[in-house]
Structure 1
Amino acid sequence: MALTLYYHPYSRAAGTLWALEEAGVDCELRVTNIMKGEQKGAELIAKNPMGKLPTLVDGDVVVTEAAAIALYLADRYAPQLAPAVSDPARGTYLRWSFFAPSVIEPAVMAKMTDWPVKEVAAGWGTHAAMLAAAESAIAGRQYVLGDTFSMADVVFGGTLRFMLDFKQIEPAPVFTNYVDRLKQRPAYQRAEERNLAMRKQLGLQ
C-alpha cells in the first residue's frame, strides 16, 4: 500500500519531502490547504487530533511529528540512514534528532517572543546554551555521525537550515558550512524542486 503524506509546501511537511527523497520512498502527497484551515478538517483530525502537518499514513500506521516521521522512514525503508539498535552510534543519532524539535525550536521561539522562562524550569535551557550545544554536535565533523550522513542530518540540519534561512539564529560558520554541505545533496535538491513546483502550482509565488 502506498504511503500518503498530508502536505503543504509552507509547512513542516516540506521538510518531510527531503526525508522521503533520502529514503527513496514513493509517497502520495495529499495537499492540505493550511491557508483555509483544511488541516483542522474531519479527515485529518481523525488521523491526527492535533490537526497538523506533516501527517504520514503508511497502511494502518499513522505517524505524526516531522522528526518522528523522518526516523520512521529510515528505520522502515532506509536502514542505511540509521545506525542499528545495537550500534552505539544510535545514541548520538537519537540525541541530536530529538534536540532539534525539543531544544532548538522552543529556545528560538522563546527568544523571538521575549517569553520569560526560568532556565531550570524550561527543558531547553537558555538560548546561548542551545547554540553552544548545537555547535558541539557538528564542530569538526561533516555530519552528526562524523563522516557518515544519516537521517539525523535531515532532522537536525533541516532545522538549522530553516532557522538560518529565516534569520532566526546567527549564521555562525559552523552552522552555515554544515547546511551548505547538506544543500549539495541530490535528495535535498529534488525535494526543493518539488516544493517549488507545488508552490507554483498552488499559485503561492
Structure 2
Amino acid sequence: MSDELVLYTNPMSRGRIARWMMEELGQPYRAEIVGFGGPMKGAAYKAINPMGKVPALVHGATVVTECAAICAYLADAFPQAGLAPAPGDHRRGPYYRWMFFAAGPVEAAVTNKAFGLEAPPERARSVGYGTYADAMDTLEYAVSQSEYIAGDRFSAADVYVGSQVLWGLQFGTMEKRPAFEAYGARLAARPAALRAKQIDDELMAQMQKAG
C-alpha cells in the first residue's frame, strides 16, 4: 500500500488551510483539484468524503477530512516536522484546546453572525459558543498569552487558528482587534504560508480565466 499523501482541495475553499499545513510539513504530496458542483458531489469523490466537500486527505489507506483533523493527523503522522507538542508535554493541552475551540465555537459563531443567526440573549446559554462576543473575547485571550497558540513554538494549531483569524480579518467577520492583527501578521509572513498562498492564488486565477 502506497503511503503517498494526496490532498483533495479547491483554491476557493477551506482547502487552503490544508495546503498551508502541507507546506509546513515539508513532505512530498500530490494535490487533486476538485471542482464545485458535479465533481465534488459526484459518486467518485463522495466515496472519499461523503459530505462532498473539500479538503480531504488520503495517506495510504487512511482518509481524513475536516481541516482541524487534517492538521492534527499530519502533525502526529510526521513528528519529525515538530508541528505538535509531544505527548506528555504540558503544551499539548493548549494545542488541542485552542485548535478545536477554533474548529467549534469560533467557526460556528462567525458563520452564524455572518448569516444573522445569532440566538436571542436569553437563549445564549443553550448555544455551544454562548455569544459571538464570548467567542471573540476568548479567542483574543488565546492569541494574547504567548507568541503562538500553544506557547513559544509554532504548531499545527497555529495553522488552523491562524487561518480562522486571517480569514475573519480579510472578510470582515472578525473585529480588527490589535491582538488578532498582530497574531495574523506573524503567521502570514511564514515562508510556508506564503508558498501555500501563492500556489492557491495562481490556481484560482487559472480556474477563473478558464471559467
Change beyond 3 A, Cα 1:116–1:130: closer
Cα displacement (A) at 1:204: 5.1
Output aligned runs, 1:13-162, within 5 Å: 13-34=15-36, 36-79=37-80, 80-117=82-119, 118-162=123-167
Distance 1:194 1:160, change over 3 A: same
Structure 2 Cα separation of the partners of residues 197 and 78 of structure 1: 30
Q: TM-score, normalised by structure 2?
A: 0.92
What is the 5 A alignment of 1:167-182? Answer: 167-182=172-187
**How big is the shift at 1:201?**
2.3
Instruction: State the identity %.
Output: 40
Q: Which residue among 193, 197, 200 is the counterpart of 1:195?
A: 200
* Structure-2 separation of matches of 1:135 and 1:116: 20
- Equivalent pair of 2:91/2:151 in contact (CA under 8 Å): no
Structure 2: which amino acid aligns with 1:153?
Answer: D
Residue identity opposite 2:198 in structure 1: E
1:7 is matched with which residue: 6, 9, 12?
9
2:92, 2:150 within 8 Å by CA — same for their partners in 1? no
* CA separation of 1:54 and 1:204: change in aligned 2, threshold 3 A: farther
Residues 53-109 of structure 1, C-alpha deviations (whole Å, 9 max, x = no match)? 001111110000001001111111145110112112111000000011201111112
RMSD after superposition: 1.4
Shift of 1:18: 0.5
Cα distance in 2 for partners of 1:10, 1:28 equals: 18
- SS of 1:202 mapped into structure 2: helix
CA distance in 2, matches of 1:26, 1:12: 20
Q: Which ranges in structure 2 are unaligned for 5 or more consecutive residues?
A: none
Does the CA contact (< 8 Å) of 1:5 and 1:54 recur in 2? yes
Q: CA deviation at 1:140?
A: 4.3
Question: CA 1:93–1:41 in 2, change beyond 3 Å: closer, same or farther?
Answer: same
Which residue does 2:171 correspond to in 1? Answer: 166
Conserved in 2, the CA contact under 8 Å of 1:23 and 1:78?
no
> 2 CA distance for matches of 1:78 and 1:66?
18
Whole-angstrom CA distance in 1 between matches of 2:146 and 2:5 = 34
Contact 1:18 1:188 (C-alpha < 8 Å) held by counterparts:
yes
2:13 and 2:102 map into 1 onto residues whose CA distance is 16
Q: Number of residue pairs matched?
A: 204
